[in-house]
Amino acid sequence: MRTLRTTNMAAIYATLVWFFFTTGLAPSSFLGILNQRPDCNQAGLDSCQMNNCSVRHALVPRQRAPTGPEWGSEYLGVRLVNRRPVPVMNVTWTLRSDASILTLQGSELRIVDKSTKQSLCVYFTYSISQQLRFNSSKWTFSLAGVVVEAGHSYMMSAFNLPEPDVGDYRITKQVTVPGCNDKRIRSSQMCLENGSLWHPEVTPVLLVGKHHLLSVVVGFRADVYSDLYQVSIENRGVHLSQNVSRVGGISTSASAAEEHPECFQVEGRRKVVIIYSLDHPLYRNIILKLSAFLTARCGTEVVLDLLDSTRLGILGRVQWLDWQREEVEGSSAKILLLCSAGVQAKWRAMCGGKTLLLKEDQRSPTGDTLTPALSLLLPHLVGSASLEKYIVAYFGDVCSPEHVPWPFHVVVRYQLMKQFEELFFRILDTEKHGPGRVQHIRGLAEDKYHRCPFGRALQEAIQAFREYQLENPHWFQEECVNH
């Protein structure tokens, strides 16, 4: 989100504020390497190659192990990946020029994203017969093209091989990638989608109408990455705000009405309270991306514990949840339960009189809000009058219908993102199918939602968790603290 403030003529004393809604929230995270070739083009290297860290290294007595390396400088910039600019970092380290270098067999470098816990590990093997290079400088190696994210912090560790059997010569340091205001990465795709280079070219015009009433017409240039904007005018304590959409609307199409499609505008801003389980950092990222998609692309007011931690901390989890339930029952708002492996496991634990805690519950400042939510909401779900307030869904690529607790089988269950359009019609209290017509919401179909920045970020987050699950089939058992 990008904010711009400007002051109109002195006679008006007004402040115009633009809110630029883009993908927002936490960016989809990916930690990888673009350059899989090691820096081996150095004279004097007998052998050199790079592998992953699946090999188990041998240990040697401490006096026969090489001393630890030294950190070099980092380079941060932007490179094209599949025609999309992404921020990358080059990590450099040097070898100490003592006699232990002659026992060196290689080096291992590990990088961990502190936000998502994703990690990569690279094992360099090389043989060196001289303490210094031909020009009397230290041996220097680098891992080039490490894909990083703006605003994320990374913990890096490096050590030389073979390792000593007692102690270690490991070196560590933390590197924080700057935000999108840094000129080195503001041209990356994620920063562009968050308005890093947006210039609205505002043109406020003062109009005088009948009875000497004043009005202000505001014009600005839209950004290629955003469909929704908020324009506000502040003047001597008076605050007026207006949402402006470049696309929006619901269109109707059918064989009998294709020539004259009906359109109608969604009135008001619908509210959705999202209930979920903190199964994994990558799943939490999906929840945040869905919230951004609903907010920025669909114009929905999303209530999420992660985004309301201050109020939740003041009221407490039960009181905060009960307050949200009362707000929903007295309005057109909905409660959206996103089912996953954690939802099913925590429900079963409740049935057995136990409490299941996940690692991400311990890390989160809000803790586990799902278990008290289930205890609080289920009694209200029994009444048929309350059924319309609840929506149950699951992400088909990373979850399954079996993850839906049996009490929620009484309501319709939506598979995301395949049935997201149907789910959004439920949020709007609008029927998709009518006599002789089928209504569609532009850009929300399964094969189209990812064409906007908000949807693409959500799709990438789902794919990242899907790939992690395939590589780690026992991931959920590993996330359980007291299973």
Query: What CATH number is given to the structural domain containing 64?
Result: 2.60.40.2160
Last residue of some domain: 191, 213, 230? 191
> Does residue 311 sit in the same domain as residue 364?
yes
Q: Do 52 and 199 belong together in one domain?
A: no
Residue 206: domain span: 2-24+194-245
Predicted pLDDT at 99: 83
| Average pLDDT over every residue of 185-192 | 86
Say what percent of the chain tops pLDDT 70.
79
| 241/310 same-domain check | no
- Using the 3D structure, point to which of 245, 261, 283 is the last residue of a domain: 245
Same domain, 235 and 376: no
Q: Which residue has the higher pLDDT, 174 or 51?
A: 174
Indicate if 363 and 260 belong to the same structural domain: yes
Q: Indicate whether 222 and 257 sit together in one domain.
A: no
Q: Do 157 and 107 share a structural domain? A: yes
Same domain, 209 and 118: no
Predicted confidence at residue 401, as pLDDT, reads: 94
Q: Judge whether residue 261 has pLDDT over 60.
A: no
3-state secondary structure of 396: coil
Q: What is the mean pLDDT of the chain?
A: 79
Report how far residue 349's alpha carbon sits from residue 307's, in angstroms, rounded to the nearest whole number: 27
Q: What CATH number is attached to the domain comprising 364?
A: 3.40.50.11530
Taken in order 133, 135, 138, 140, the sign of the CA dihedral is negative
Q: Count Cβ atoms below 10 Å from residue 226 Cβ, excluding itself.
A: 25
Q: State the pLDDT at residue 257.
A: 34
pLDDT at 434: 67
Looking at the structure, tell me whether residues 368 and 441 fall in a common domain: yes
- pLDDT at position 474: 94
- Residue 50 scores a pLDDT above 60: yes
Domain boundary among 169, 191, 213: 191
Co-location of 98 and 36 in the same domain: yes
Task: Give the pLDDT confidence of 271-323 residue by residue, as tens digits.
Answer: 999 999 999 999 999 999 999 899 888 888 899 998 887 778 778 888 889 88
CB 151 within 8 A of CB 76: no
Does residue 432 register a pLDDT over 90? no
Statement: residue 11 has pLDDT above 60? no
Q: Which CA distances in Å does 310 have to 220, 258, 316, 431, 440?
A: 34, 49, 10, 37, 38
Query: Average pLDDT in the 394-414 region?
Result: 92
CB atoms within 10 A of CB 452: 22
Does residue 8 have a pLDDT over 90? no
| Same domain membership, residue 227 and residue 178 | no
Answer yes or no: do 67 and 214 share one domain. Answer: no
Residue type, 440: H
Mean pLDDT computed over 96-123: 85
Mean pLDDT of 122-131: 81
Query: What's the Cα-to-Cα distance from 60 to each of 49, 64, 68, 159, rounded to whole Å?
Result: 22, 6, 14, 14
pTM: 0.54
User: Which has the minimum average pLDDT: 32-41, 59-68, 222-231, 423-432?
Assistant: 32-41
Round to whole Å and give the CA distance between 177 and 182: 9
DSSP state of 199: -
The string of DSSP letters for 201-226 reads: --EEEEEE-GGG-EEEEEE-PPPTT-
Count of structural domains within the chain: 3
For residue 300, report the phi and psi dihedrals to the nearest 5 degrees.
-100, 140
Q: Is the pLDDT of residue 376 over 80?
A: yes
pLDDT bucket at 209, cuts 50 / 70 / 90:
low
Determine the pLDDT at residue 258.
Answer: 36
